[in-house]
Chains A and B, each alone.
Chain A
């Protein structure tokens, strides 16, 4: 009598990934075709239902698939379509009607359609629920007017996650509705937003009568805040994931600079560098411990620790690098947009990039949840402290002063 060991979910994922790699060798398969095969096999998001790019298994097993696919030379789709993979996919699969999800997910997964996120506004950052972009129903089409800001990839994105106000007379959280916007709509205008580094990683997006079919609404009218929470939880997870290699990230850049510039070293700076290293390592180990302890369960409010600490660490590390450089820190590389580069990024590469990184790091404690908001989250949800006094609770959005 023979018995067959039950196929574990881990085996299922690994076998599927190996089959995709065998049938679609990454080096000879066009990117979109390879990613399409991954989607069809259920490896784009393994925890999604079958038929929607997943296998219905634990999210923690995504690493098993990715290490096989990328280990064989496959592309890293998250880095091509970060908002798509990190936020749009999970939001669409959970909240879009099935035929719309079917239409949207595959081109997202193949990276033929890049995604961006239209949440923040010039008048609504941390207080996102106070946003003012209006969507008005006209027959079975929504007409959207307003301005969004801090949108990465908007100039190349085909689609956007959009949060807009549909009922100004309701209290702010209850008057919002969530949509998927076609960025090629004539009512959409994208303008690059130059930041203090001189580069333009982000855009402003002006919406002037942009039209969205009601079928591309995610969730109920007025239920947009709840849908947005799906997106934001996935955003923090994507940002907080971090590297788990000792001495990687910004502290690695500082160690590198220390190696390259023996002429600049002093005992006092050495102590600062090692203190930053200890801090970086404690942060890295905390991420690792949270992953081990949470297993396949989602991480709770303590997940905010990685973002909070990582952002302030980056700033301290580049403060250190500038002090190390001494008078040289007063120079700057270039304010010209780099030639032949479609998307400007502010990553560390080349001379005078410490200065650029120093400026760029100022955004770290603002983007993706300000440090002030994160401390509120930790204080209230981890330590059970009472919430702030709110003067807008229960009042119609229209009556709340805005600035």
Chain B
């Protein structure tokens, strides 16, 4: 039932919080971001090998811990609290893609290493346009012997310079198809990008006749990516909630202690009311994100919940990040203060799975089904 978490799930939340507070606190996130590093190795092995966070959502027959999107979203909420970036999100989404593609040989080959955290993976599915358009990939798959070779440019690939395995969406004869490519394969050129969100490195990948293995059915790639896209929207929304929670707590604390005109600034209604709005939007975001996580992956309810959460939480977190800076005054604008890390994350996360307006467009056929005429192009998919 929605909004009812089991004791095990609540334990997972608190143990993940403890783990991240000790091994990957916000201060560590900042150090990594400033040093241009994708992860803290000790924290990564604690999260994966010890805590098994990547095994959540993976069925037991594939070496996972079972569980559902609810568990995953609890973990991402905690990750959002400390702005944990790096390989976590891309690897989880790649695991989702492998599972959705349902290719047994590929699952056997890749899943154990990914779940254990020994290897990492990422999606390269936005093509040269950098947009979520899984029905029209720009990378092209050509036949080569009994395999395929991929050529094209993949923009905005999360962790693309360092992930071990790339899952690339390419146009094949039978339709969009997902392929597995080792990042160090011959023909892959990596270009690191300067990014707004310093916690999430990205790369541009150039593929020049790179040998690749198809995953699942030829022509089934668009469906896999759509499914992963919804998972991404739900998990990013959970991250946004966690990050917003940190912002509300920290900014309220600042407003209770910082004094001006002889009073804590939180006593002034201009400050108090803006903070109240932050708290309201946090609670609303929490509801939207949690409801989406409780829906069955692949269901129409999940599509609905993901669209509402992505639209609402993305904008709410961005507003909270801006308000945090405003309410901190000058100190909030310094490099030393963490506020800009949140603003960077908020700005990037609001469009990571496509801009809020695209998520809202996806709501139209769900909210007003009678208005979608055949051939109508309201939904970008």
Q: Which residues of A contact B (CB under 8 A)?
A: 247, 255, 258-259, 262, 270-271, 274-275, 277-279, 281-283, 285-286, 288-289, 292-293, 302, 305, 308-309, 372, 374-376, 378-380, 382-389
Contact A275 B280 (CB under 8 A): no
Find out whether the CB atom of A375 lies under 8 angstroms from the CB atom of B287: no
B267 interfacial contact with A, CB 8 Å: yes
A388 to B272 Cα, complex, angstroms:
10
Q: Which 5 A-B pairs have the closest CB atoms?
A: A385-B266, A379-B272, A274-B360, A285-B287, A378-B276
Shortest C-beta distance, B295 to chain A (Å), equals: 12
> B254-292 interface mask toward A, CB cutoff 8 Å, 1 = contact, 0 = none?
011000000110110101110111011001111110110
Cα distance, A271 to B363, chains bound together (Å): 10
A372 to B361, alpha carbons, bound, how many Å?
33
The verdict on A274 contacting B363 (CB below 8 Å), with A292-B2, A385-B267 known, is yes
- Chain A residues with CB under 8 Å of B266's CB are 379, 383, 385-386
Q: Which chain B residues have a beta carbon within 8 Å of chain A's beta carbons?
A: 1-4, 248, 252, 255-256, 263-264, 266-267, 269, 271-273, 275-277, 279-280, 283-288, 290-291, 307-308, 311-312, 356-357, 360-361, 363-364, 367-368, 370-371
Closest chain A residue to B288, Cβ basis: A282
A282 x B269 contact (CB < 8 A): no
Closest to B307 in A: A278
Please give the distance in Å from A275's CB to the nearest CB on chain B.
Answer: 6
A385-B273 in contact (CB<8A)? no
16 new A-B contacts at CB < 8 Å, known A270-B364, A384-B252: A258-B368, A259-B371, A270-B361, A271-B360, A275-B311, A277-B360, A278-B360, A285-B290, A289-B287, A374-B276, A375-B276, A378-B276, A379-B273, A383-B252, A385-B255, A385-B266
27 contacts between A and B (CB under 8 A): A270-B361, A271-B357, A274-B364, A274-B367, A275-B311, A277-B363, A278-B308, A281-B308, A282-B284, A285-B287, A286-B283, A286-B287, A288-B3, A289-B286, A292-B3, A302-B283, A378-B279, A379-B266, A379-B276, A380-B272, A382-B276, A385-B266, A385-B271, A386-B264, A386-B267, A388-B267, A389-B263
Complex: how many Å from CA A361 to CA B235? 36
Known: A288-B2, A305-B280, A372-B269. A385 touches B311 (CB 8 A): no
- Chain A hits for B288, CB < 8 A: 278, 281-282, 285
Chain A residue with Cβ nearest B311: A278
Residues of B within 8 A of A385 (CB): 252, 255-256, 264, 266-267, 271-272, 275
Tell me, in angstroms, the Cα distance from A259 to B356 when the chains sit together: 23
| B2 and A376 contact, CB distance less than 8 A | no
**Nearest CB of B to A43, in Å:** 26
Instruction: List, in ascending order, chain B residues with CB within 8 A of A380's CB.
Output: 272
In the complex, chain A residues whose CB is within 8 Å of the CB of B263: 386, 389
Distance from A277 Cβ to chain B, minimum over Cβ atoms (Å): 6
CA–CA, A378 and B264, complex, Å? 17
In the complex, A282→B286 CA distance in Å?
9
Cβ–Cβ < 8 Å partners of A376 in chain B: 269, 272-273, 276
Chain A residue contacts of B286, Cβ below 8 A: 286, 289
Say whether A282 contacts B367, CB under 8 Å: no
B272 contacts which chain A residues (CB < 8 A)?
375-376, 379-380, 385
Chain B residues with CB under 8 Å of A372's CB are 269, 273
Q: Which residue of A lies closest to B360 (CB)?
A: A274
Say whether B256 contacts A386, CB under 8 Å: yes
A262 to B371, CA, bound (A): 9
Chain A contacts for B252, CB-based, 8 A: 383-385
- Among A372, A378, A379, find the residue whose CB has the most chain B CB atoms closer than 10 A: A379
A285-B291, A384-B256, A387-B267 known; A274-B2 Cβ under 8 A:
no
Contact call B363/A278, Cβ cutoff below 8 A = yes
A residues near B371, Cβ cutoff 8 Å? 258-259, 262
Contact A283 B2 (CB under 8 A): no
Q: Is the CB of B3 within 8 A of A247?
A: no
- B280's partner among A247, A258, A378 (CB-CB below 8 A) is A378
Chain A residues positioned under 8 Å from B364 (CB to CB): 270, 274
Docked complex Cα distance between A162 and B269 (Å): 31
A387 surroundings in chain B (CB, below 8 A): 267
* Closest chain A CB from B324 CB (angstroms): 13
Taking a contact as CB atoms under 8 Å apart, the answer to whether A277 and B367 are in contact is yes
Q: Which residues of B contact A388 (CB under 8 A)?
A: 267, 269
Q: Which residues of B contact A278 (CB under 8 A)?
A: 288, 307-308, 311-312, 360, 363
List, in ascending order, chain B residues with CB within 8 A of A384's CB. 252, 256
Cα A262 to Cα B267 in complex, Å, equals 49
B residues near A277, Cβ cutoff 8 Å? 308, 360, 363, 367
- CB A292 to nearest CB in B, in angstroms, measures 4
Residue from the list A259, A282, A382 in contact with B287, Cβ < 8 A: A282
Residues of A near B277 (CB, < 8 A) are 375
Closest CB of chain B to A136's CB: distance in Å?
A: 37
Q: How far is the CA of A379 from the CA of B267 in the complex (A)?
A: 9
Complex Cα gap A278–B370 (Å): 19
A371 and B361 alpha carbons, distance in the complex (Å): 31
Q: Which residue of B lies closest to A283 (CB)?
A: B284
CA distance A277 to B263 in the complex (A): 40
Contact A389 B267 (CB under 8 A): yes
User: Could you tell me the distance in whole angstroms from the C-beta of B18 to the nearest C-beta in chain A?
Assistant: 23
Q: Chain B contacts of A374 at CB under 8 A?
A: 276
Chain B, residue nearest A272 (CB): B360
Interface contact B311-A383, CB-CB below 8 Å:
no
Query: Which of chain B's residues have a CB closer than 8 A to the CB of A271?
Result: 357, 360-361
Closest Cβ neighbor of B255 among chain A residues: A385
In the assembly, what is the distance between CA of A385 and CA of B249, in Å? 11
Q: Which chain A residues border B368 with CB–CB below 8 Å?
A: 255, 258-259
Residues on B with beta carbons closer than 8 Å to the beta carbon of A292:
1-4
Closest residue of A by beta carbon distance from B267:
A386
Contacts of A275 in B (CB 8 A): 311, 356, 360
Which residue in chain B gives the minimum CB-CB distance to A274? Answer: B360
A4 to chain B, nearest CB (A): 29
- Among residues of A, the one whose C-beta sits closest to the C-beta of B290 is A289
Residue contact B248 to A309, C-beta cutoff 8 Å: no
* A308 nearest CB across to chain B (Å): 6
Closest residue of chain A to B278 (Cβ to Cβ) is A383
Task: Give complex CA distance A386, B291 in Å.
Answer: 33
Within the assembled complex, what's the spacing in Å between the Cα atoms of A332 and B4?
47
CA distance A379 to B270 in the complex (A): 11
In angstroms, Cα B280 to Cα A108, docked, is 36
